[in-house]
Amino acid sequence: MSEDTAPQAADAAHAVAAAAARDDFAARAAELDAGDPLSGKRAEFVLDEAVYLDGNSLGALPQAVPERLREVVAHEWGELRIRSWTESGWWTAPERIGDRIAPLLGAAPGQVVVGDSTSVNVFKALVAAVRMADETTGPAAGGPARDEILVDAATFPTDGYIARSAARLTGRTLRPVEAARMPAEVSERTAVALVNHVDYRTGRLNDLPGVTAALHRAGALAVWDLCHSAGALPVGLDAHGVDLAVGCTYKYLNGGPGSPAYLYVRAEHQPRFDSPLPGWNSHADPFGMDPEYVPAAGIERGRVGTPDILSLLALEAALEAWEGVAIEDVRAKSLALTDFFLECVRAYVPRGRVRSVTPEAHHERGSQVALECAGAGEVMGELIRHGVIGDFRHPDVLRFGFTPLYTSFADAERAARTLAEVLAYVPGDGSASAVAAGAQEQGPVMT
């Protein structure tokens, strides 16, 4: 066989093997779905014939939300009007819904408040953490100057922008550091570190307990961004001594587009939480209209202005889907789904066409699979056209988010099979040789 025909022969052999494996994988998917303790939750979401693997960007619509919003608009707003702030519990919604989210974060009640965006909450948390560090371990406490903020070098861009602004406003230096390097890089100069629990691009799960402990040994505080972990895996904020945390609710928590974010402030820090955005909603006497600001006690200090009631109550209805669900079962299914999907991809997709940039090790994996793929933008467009909804991250990453409450093993098998079918006619720029060459430098090509 000539060198020119060898690759074609290998591809043909792989296609035959993949075709033979499809019935086996389909049967395995059916068996896994039949034994899935969370399978009944799928009926609580509005889904269609498409395979929806973009819940790490926007969660599917829970069935309970539309009726609840109709009730809020027609009765609470339409009929009760202003009385709903008290009679319908609008005023206390930020703390009440925070307490519903808290168990998913491993937090006791009274430490989570819902409101504002993730970006706003990152700003509040970082500036307040710098002020607390000054007071507790910095010069005010006879300690060293805490003149730097560490930020996860692979952070979602907005977190980096906010961290840079917070550093400038507080007179600190911002230093980007890889999350895995933070235990070695933190020093007595560090006031706080902002770290992503799961890398949004690769799906890598960072070591929350280890990094938090290392920061504390150096006298620094930890702020964690939980956008890509809350609702997908156990977080353990209280157990691991996390100081502050933020996260969105429109991904794995299925709160809807633009649903409000949340802020966690550890109970012992709340008396010293000095928000850089003091608003009338966080005042000790919000209706006293006192020109002097006096912060409320407890987690209410994290509030700013009037709550987004429609979005808040939609989120509260969405959280009903979590009734009776153990986050440990969610994590077990997440890992099983992503393992199964990767196995299907290896069987169906010719060697060298894609490379997983999501870690194989369970302790380093979130609830998504990111595949490096030449021509990824075009490939994802074709996948969506064929009913498999994921997303694309520049320049060459296909992201597939697995939401255990409604994603099935049959979905995972169909997604991998459709990916192989699309790659058969979308070669992409650079095709297999470029991907394989890059993999030799960066890691193993998937087989």
User: Which pLDDT tens digit goes with each residue over 145-173?
Assistant: 999 999 999 999 999 999 999 999 999 99
Handedness of CA 58, 60, 65, 67 (dihedral sign): positive
Q: Of the ranges 15-24, 316-325, 429-438, which one carries the lowest mean pLDDT score? A: 429-438
Query: pLDDT, tens digit, for every residue of 172-184?
Result: 999 999 999 999 9
pLDDT of residue 186 exceeding 50: yes
Buried/exposed code over 212-239 (b: 16+ C-beta within 10 A; e: otherwise): bebbbebbbbbbbbbbbbbbbbbbbbbe
72's tokens: 């809020």
Looking at domain 6-35+326-442, its CATH architecture is Alpha-Beta Complex (3.90)
Q: CB neighbours of 15 closer than 8 A, spacing ≥ 6? A: 350
Asked whether the beta carbons of 346 and 353 are under 8 A apart, the reply is no
Chain-centre distance for alpha carbon 317:
20
Query: What one-character-per-residue DSSP string does 162-205 give?
Result: HHHHHHHHHTPEEEEE-GGGHHHH--TTEEEEEEESB-TTT-BB
From the list 200, 408, 239, 230, the residue with the least C-alpha distance to 319 is: 230
**Mean pLDDT over residues 378-405, rounded?**
97
Q: Domain ranges in the chain?
A: 6-35+326-442, 66-322
**Cis before 395? omega within 30:** yes
From the list 132, 133, 147, 222, the residue with the least C-alpha distance to 182 is: 222
Asked whether the beta carbons of 414 and 33 are under 8 A apart, the reply is no
Rounded to two decimals, what is the model's pTM? Answer: 0.92
pLDDT of residue 18 exceeding 90: no
Asked whether the beta carbons of 152 and 196 are under 8 A apart, the reply is yes
**CA separation for the pair 320, 36 (Å, rounded):** 20
From the list 252, 197, 243, the residue with the least C-alpha distance to 222 is: 243
**CA separation for the pair 416, 400 (Å, rounded):** 10
Asked whether the beta carbons of 263 and 112 are under 8 A apart, the reply is yes
**CA separation for the pair 115, 216 (Å, rounded):** 28
Question: What residue has token string 């809807």?
Answer: 256
Q: CB neighbours of 8 closer than 8 A, spacing ≥ 6? A: none
Looking at domain 66-322, its CATH architecture is 3-Layer(aba) Sandwich (3.40)
**CA separation for the pair 398, 377 (Å, rounded):** 8
Q: At 436, is the pLDDT very low, low, confident or very high (cuts 50, 70, 90)? A: very low
Residue type, 30: A
**Mean pLDDT over residues 302-308, rounded?**
97
From the list 156, 157, 148, 136, the residue with the least C-alpha distance to 182 is: 148
Is residue 39 exposed (0-12), middle (13-18) or buried (19+ Cβ within 10 Å)?
Answer: middle
User: Which residues are part of the catalytic machinery?
Assistant: 156, 225, 250-251, 399
Query: pLDDT, tens digit, for every residue of 314-337?
Result: 999 999 999 999 999 999 999 999
pLDDT of residue 13 exceeding 80: no
Tell me whether domains 6-35+326-442 and 66-322 share a fold: no
Query: pLDDT, tens digit, for every residue of 226-243?
Result: 999 999 999 999 999 999
Q: Give me the pLDDT at residue 437, please.
A: 34
Asked whether the beta carbons of 195 and 222 are under 8 A apart, the reply is yes
Query: pLDDT, tens digit, for every residue of 250-265?
Result: 999 999 999 999 999 9
Q: Give me the pLDDT at residue 5, please.
A: 57
Handedness of CA 374, 433, 446, 11 (dihedral sign): positive
Q: DSSP class of residue 210?
A: H
- Mean pLDDT for the chain overall: 93
